[in-house]
Amino acid sequence: MDIKNKTIILTGAARVGKSVAKMLGERGANLVITYLHSKKEADFVCEGCKEAGSQAIEVRADLSKAADVAEVVKEAKRAFGRIDGLVHMAASYPKTPWETLKEEDWGRTMDIIAKSTFLLGKAVGDELLKNKGDEVRSNGGVTGRVKGKIVTISDWSVLARPYKDYLPYNAAKAAVEGLTIALAKELAPYVTVNAVAPGPILAPPGLTHEENAEVLSKTPLARWGGPEEIAKAVLYFFEADFVTGVVLPVDGGRTIG
């Protein structure tokens, strides 16, 4: 799908989201940036997209609430007339040690990560199915139509090597992978749904020299990838029209390390 002049909802504009927004904006997509607390980052991303020649708006939303998700859809259509894609990056990463783990930790994390993926997938999926879509041509003829794209964000570790002290997070991200595959089946053949599973992309603040060395020793490519690698993966899923239901690790080989 050519994303020029297409409207894409991007949730989460901080850190890696900035690079995703930049790459999509440079290719002419209209962006709807959602935020909950990071208004300053959303403002910065919107301005950057406009400087790159694309259009962008921001919408404050709690994506674990159906009413807020509906408002995001409404504002996207009001601004640009239609919706062509979704990149759902907004999430939380709370440390929840076993000794202090409570039901509230589970509910809050599942709402922010998994429930929001369901709500957005359903609301945006319904809108995408309304589109006429772009023709897909093969062997000299039209073989199908692509009406939209959805890209979610998982984590390289959640199924094979879940992090200790992050049980609700691991479960919620595993649910994202399950939802990605289920949405791909529900929305086929007109909408593709795929997930990116990042590995060591950005070193977290406060990482010690010893911790950094441990990460690199377990990563075959022996470096942090940088946020542009996630942006490339997201762009690939928008441009590839015969790929759906895929969870793509972008992890420097960490899954085999």
Confidence of residue 49 (pLDDT cuts 50, 70, 90): confident
* Residues 194 and 248: beta-carbon distance below 8 Å: yes
Residue 103 is encoded by which pair of tokens? 């039901």
The answer to whether position 1 is within a domain reads no
Confidence of residue 72 (pLDDT cuts 50, 70, 90): very high
User: In the prediction, which pLDDT does 45 show?
Assistant: 85
Q: What is the pLDDT of residues 96-112, one digit of tens each?
A: 999 999 999 999 999 99
Domain containing 242 — which CATH number?
3.40.50.720
User: In the prediction, which pLDDT does 76 show?
Assistant: 98
Sequence-distant contacts of 104-109: CB under 8 A, at least 24 apart: 105/168, 106/167, 106/168, 106/171, 108/168, 109/168, 109/169, 109/171, 109/172
Q: What is the pLDDT of residues 218-233, one digit of tens each?
A: 999 999 999 999 999 9
Q: Name the residue range of residue 47's domain.
A: 7-256
Q: How far apart are CA 183 and CA 177, in angstroms?
A: 10
First-last CA distance in the chain:
34
The answer to whether position 50 is within a domain reads yes
The answer to whether position 2 is within a domain reads no
Q: What are phi and psi of 138, to 5 degrees?
A: -150, 140
Q: Total structural domains in the chain?
A: 1
Instruction: Report how far apart, in Å, the C-alpha atoms of 174 and of each of 4, 114, 126, 157 are.
Output: 32, 9, 24, 9
3-state helix, strand, coil in the chain (%, to 5): 45, 20, 35
Q: What is the pLDDT of residues 153-179, one digit of tens each?
A: 999 999 889 989 999 999 999 999 999
Q: What is the mean pLDDT of the chain?
A: 94
